[in-house]
Chain A
């Protein structure tokens, strides 16, 4: 025997030290989120398709735009808008796609695993209900926003490079278009925008997750009908529409507080290009509606964690 390091024959006892090894919470969360991306490939495929459509629209528009350029539009503000519009379109299209994907994902997240009985497999592993619910909430609140920012940046970069190539081929100086299209600024505003939406819409996604943990079937109806019922009851009893207004504001993530759509000179801001100077984070974070909404989001998620503990396959 020349291996004194391991004098004992291998026995089941030799695996005992492993017993105290713990997996860090961050690692559990990482694998749980990764698992969600494996299961729901639409989370990134749908935004990629949307980006493809935006790019297609850009190529088609390019021929149209060059024609209007030749016709010569006198107004420089209008010309600028025509120039940045396709880049703004990318962001809006991706935001809308991410919203739809996020809603349908959340409706199914804690229902699907009960429907296909796989909850029995997930629960056989040392991952807590809290980690599972947080990983599922992270999809619409963190993962989708990041996907929107990254895909928009890449798409717009490809678009401006293509534009540059066209200009070079036609013997024009491309530097002007790089100067004129404030891509970096647009990306910064988008990052701020997705953060605003994630915070503002958090109670909405948390509500959907809670209903998907609770409902046995027709999750969508259970998610929508109670809200409608409250709105109708309010209208009938008090003849007011506060609840509906509140819902509408959560739906757009309280973003009316986050941006000023009137410039200091009194001109309206076109939604295709919101300059960095128009963001109003002070007003957004100062509105108690945001914090009340976040408190409700936390409550809904806490209920979802508890529900998942009790839930069995359907």
Chain B
């Protein structure tokens, strides 16, 4: 089943185009990472998917039009739009009461079980909790909702590495079950590399790369080239080259693994390195166009 389907999705704020004709298809049971620089249009695209902002073009989420049908859609979709959107005056017990009162698919016992593993007290107000605890509380609320789609927009921003690790561990172990779909944006790309099933790069409102992680692993290769073989390696048209400790690391798209193995140590690049490479090509192309 298709979870999200967009055709020609477009959104502009005055003269600025935030999302520029995006075609997107996310199937059920995927974990999609949406990666892009600041101001690339990630949050705008997610807001459109969540029915928080009007848009042009076609968009269906779980078969519904999110802008016209937000309150129904929210029975099957949950999201953490940002860290620290829980109101500061809210007590933990009130948060549980309220969500249990308004959400037909909220399993309070599950949220309580998750909170029991943390040091969050029921009587605490959100303002008394640390940033990490607020994120844990929000995650506890969201994970206890039996949703079909979960959207996370920078859910771990500003949290320390322990909380970030815990956050994704909980998500994978206690929540994800192959019938759910997760869309996540983050700047800490390396931390979700093993979590994702699909990858999408977005820049200036357009999708510049979209592939599954299997595709990513078979398609992109990184070689730490021996100094004397650098010219030979360059002849194979790498998409990116960088220097680490005086050695050249070249990134190839759809190159022959055996041919590369002769030049040096071959490995799968990190998403972050591919991101830098792809954004470099993008910026080069736009500069070329400007000239």
Which residues of A are interface residues toward B (Cβ below 8 A)?
A: 12-13, 15, 18-19, 21-23, 27-28, 30-32, 34-35, 38-39, 113, 116-121, 123-129, 131, 309-310, 312
Q: A125-B103, A312-B52 are in contact. Are A116 and B88 (CB under 8 A)?
A: yes
Q: A18-B146, A117-B82 are in contact. Are A126 and B104 (CB under 8 A)?
A: yes
Q: How far in angstroms is the closest Cβ of chain A from B189?
A: 23
Q: How far in angstroms is the closest Cβ of chain A from B158?
A: 14
CA distance A30 to B97 in the complex (A): 12
Q: Given the complex, which residues of B lie within 8 Å of A126, measured CB to CB?
A: 71-75, 102-104
B101 touches A120 (CB 8 A): no
Is B86 part of the binding interface, using a Cβ–Cβ cutoff of 8 Å?
yes
Q: Given the complex, which residues of B lie within 8 Å of A310, measured CB to CB?
A: 53-54
Q: How far in angstroms is the closest Cβ of chain B from A204?
A: 26
B87 touches A116 (CB 8 A): yes
Is B105 part of the binding interface, using a Cβ–Cβ cutoff of 8 Å?
yes
A125 touches B102 (CB 8 A): yes
* Most chain B CB neighbours (cut-off 10 Å) among A12, A119, A124, A129: A124
Considering only CB atoms, which chain B residue lies closest to A113 in the complex? B87
B102 touches A127 (CB 8 A): yes
Considering only CB atoms, which chain B residue lies closest to A38 in the complex? B94
Considering only CB atoms, which chain B residue lies closest to A118 in the complex? B87
B76 touches A19 (CB 8 A): yes
A121 touches B104 (CB 8 A): no
Q: A12-B179, A126-B71 are in contact. Are A117 and B102 (CB under 8 A)?
A: no
B90 touches A38 (CB 8 A): yes
Is B79 part of the binding interface, using a Cβ–Cβ cutoff of 8 Å?
yes
Is B78 part of the binding interface, using a Cβ–Cβ cutoff of 8 Å?
yes
Q: Given the complex, which residues of B lie within 8 Å of A116, measured CB to CB?
A: 87-88
Q: Given the complex, which residues of B lie within 8 Å of A38, measured CB to CB?
A: 89-91, 94
Q: Given the complex, which residues of A lie within 8 Å of B85, measured CB to CB?
A: 117-121
Q: A38-B94, A126-B72, A126-B74 are in contact. Are A120 and B82 (CB under 8 A)?
A: yes
Q: Given the complex, which residues of B lie within 8 Å of A119, measured CB to CB?
A: 85
Is B245 part of the binding interface, using a Cβ–Cβ cutoff of 8 Å?
no
Contact for B74 among A18, A19, A118, A124, CB less than 8 A: A124
Interface code B56-96, partner A: CB below 8 Å = 1, 0 otherwise?
00000000000000111111101111101111111100100
Considering only CB atoms, which chain B residue lies closest to A119 in the complex? B85
Q: How far in angstroms is the closest Cβ of chain B from A295?
A: 26
The B interface is mostly helix, strand or loop, or mixed, namely loop
The A interface is mostly helix, strand or loop, or mixed, namely helix
Which residues of B are interface residues toward A (Cβ below 8 A)?
A: 47, 50, 52-54, 70-76, 78-82, 84-91, 94, 97-99, 101-105, 138, 142, 146, 177, 179-180
For chains A and B in complex, what number of residue pairs have CB atoms within 8 angstroms?
A: 95
CA distance A128 to B73 in the complex (A): 11
CA distance A118 to B54 in the complex (A): 20
Q: A128-B71, A312-B52 are in contact. Are A120 and B104 (CB under 8 A)?
A: no
CA distance A15 to B144 in the complex (A): 12
B103 touches A23 (CB 8 A): yes
CA distance A125 to B80 in the complex (A): 11
CA distance A113 to B88 in the complex (A): 11
Q: How far in angstroms is the closest Cβ of chain A from B91?
A: 7
B146 touches A125 (CB 8 A): no
CA distance A294 to B105 in the complex (A): 37
Q: How far in angstroms is the closest Cβ of chain B from A272?
A: 38
Q: A31-B98, A123-B70, A312-B52 are in contact. Are A18 and B105 (CB under 8 A)?
A: yes
Q: Given the complex, which residues of A lie within 8 Å of B84, measured CB to CB?
A: 117
A39 touches B101 (CB 8 A): no
Q: Can you spell out 7 A-B residue pairs with CB atoms less than 8 angstroms apart?
A: A12-B177, A12-B179, A23-B101, A28-B102, A120-B81, A123-B74, A127-B74
Q: Given the complex, which residues of B lie within 8 Å of A117, measured CB to CB?
A: 82, 84-85
Given A15-B105, A27-B102, A126-B102, 20 extra CB contacts under 8 A: A12-B177, A12-B179, A18-B105, A18-B146, A19-B76, A23-B101, A27-B101, A31-B98, A35-B94, A35-B98, A119-B85, A120-B52, A120-B82, A121-B86, A121-B138, A123-B50, A124-B78, A125-B74, A126-B72, A126-B75
Return the 7 tightest CB-CB contacts between A and B, nearest first: A31-B101, A118-B87, A120-B81, A126-B74, A128-B71, A120-B85, A21-B104
Q: Given the complex, which residues of B lie within 8 Å of A34, measured CB to CB?
A: 98, 101
B104 touches A30 (CB 8 A): no
Q: Given the complex, which residues of B lie within 8 Å of A35, measured CB to CB?
A: 94, 98
Q: How far in angstroms is the closest Cβ of chain B from A39?
A: 5
Q: Given the complex, which residues of A lie within 8 Å of B76, measured CB to CB?
A: 19
Q: How far in angstroms is the closest Cβ of chain B from A311?
A: 9
Q: A126-B75, A312-B52 are in contact. Are A23 and B87 (CB under 8 A)?
A: no
Q: Given the complex, which residues of B lie within 8 Å of A13, measured CB to CB?
A: 179
Q: Given the complex, which residues of B lie within 8 Å of A124, measured CB to CB?
A: 50, 74, 78-81, 142
CA distance A214 to B104 in the complex (A): 31
